[in-house]
Amino acid sequence: MRDDTYDQDRVGDIDAAMPAPTVATVSDADLSVAGPVFSKKDLLDAVNEMVDVKRPDVKKVLEAALQLIGEKLVEGRELNLAPMGRIMPKRTKSGGKATVVTCKVRVPQNVEKGGRKGLAEGGEDE
């Protein structure tokens, strides 16, 4: 025969030993980025160093690409942009001066480690 009072006493002992649960809140101040903002100018400088193209031409192409990416995200389109990764819009909210698109971004491991796989060498993508 089983002694149920023993089990109830043990549960009471465990409950007494457990600390009361705490509620954690996260403020906007807690959500910081890993480093300083990487601006369009920073991106332009980095791309200009990587390719053998005049800076004004790089700027035109980069601005056109960013414009298209923004438009497609607002439309709710999923972007698969190798080697960068996949961008999946989850929510869109239109407001006063802007539309906010909340996205999930999946970045391949070779990009996380600084790999540059997928970039065409001179004449490879023609």
Tell me how far apart the alpha carbons of residues 96 and 48 are, in angstroms, rounded to a whole number.
35
Tell me what percent of the residues of the chain surpass a pLDDT of 70.
60
Tell me how far apart the alpha carbons of residues 72 and 64 are, in angstroms, rounded to a whole number.
12
Mean pLDDT of the 13-34 span: 57
Report the SS3 class of residue 48: helix
**Tokens encoding 55:** 């800076």
What's the pLDDT band for 69 if we cut at 50, 70, 90?
very high
Just give the CATH number of 34-112. Answer: 4.10.520.10
Count of CB atoms situated within 10 Å of the CB of 39: 9
For residue 120, pLDDT beyond 60: no
**Tokens encoding 9:** 């006493």
Residue type, position 18, single letter:
M
| Mean pLDDT score of the chain | 78
pLDDT confidence of residue 110: 80
For residue 53, pLDDT beyond 60: yes
pLDDT confidence of residue 93: 92
